[in-house]
A and B are shown apart, each in its own frame.
Chain A
Amino acid sequence: QVHLQESGPGLVKPSETLSLTCTVSGGSIRGYYWTWLRQPPGKGLEWIGYIHDTGSTNYSPSLKSRGTISLFTSGNQFSLRVNSVTAADTAIYYCARGRGGSPTDHWFDPWGQGILVTVSS
């Protein structure tokens, strides 16, 4: 049974960099779309981006090039960095595994439990 776990600081100052790691256990990191999503408190879900084990990435245009997702196959981990954060980046951040053979037709399963990141001075 694959399990995903997010880790990282829960508080980030405005204009600084948000940095999170997702650790994958119980399964291989090969052949999937490793994805980050977020959910502002009380609001809906937003896709941030993914990295495939081939190294290809795709990001939400709403991040305006502030985001970077990296994959660390030796450690079965992938990470998210978001630069120049503002209060609008306050959200529960989820990592998830994208299953299915196509970059545009796959599904997110499973999800990590999520980590609340607050942007505040």
Chain B
Amino acid sequence: QSVLTQPPSASGTPGQRVTISCSGSSSNIGSHTVNWYQQLSGTAPKLLIYTNTQRPSGVPDRFSGSQSGTSASLAISGLQSEDETDYYCAAWDDSLNGWVFGGGTRLTVL
């Protein structure tokens, strides 16, 4: 059972906009910034969004992040086939005194 809650799966068709949610509590998302990681099959995770909304250089602007209260979201617009992979949210948790992750969301492009 992960501390941050993500839907195990999400799907969309090419060109569509998809949103992946990440739900937490006042001890994590409610108090700290959220980062998102993309993990292609068989490879290491890669930073996708940091500090709730910031994109590292090289990440397309199709990817965007938001945070409100104790929840955060990752939005992917103009969905492409190469977006079909796993996505994880992460935040610091004051109660556990450590980083916590969501269980991951597998995105399928139909």
Contacts and interface: CB of A to CB of B under 8 A. Distances in A.
A113 B43 CA distance: 7
Contacts, number: 61
A13 B88 CA distance: 31
A24 B92 CA distance: 24
A105 B97 contact: no
B98 A61 contact: yes
A64 to B, nearest CB: 13
A105 B92 contact: yes
A26 interface: no
A35 to B, nearest CB: 8
Interface string B59-96: 00000000000000000000000000000101010101
Interface string A28-63: 000000000000000011110100000000111100
**Which 3 pairs, one residue from A and one from B, show the smallest C-beta to C-beta distance?**
A47-B99, A107-B50, A109-B47
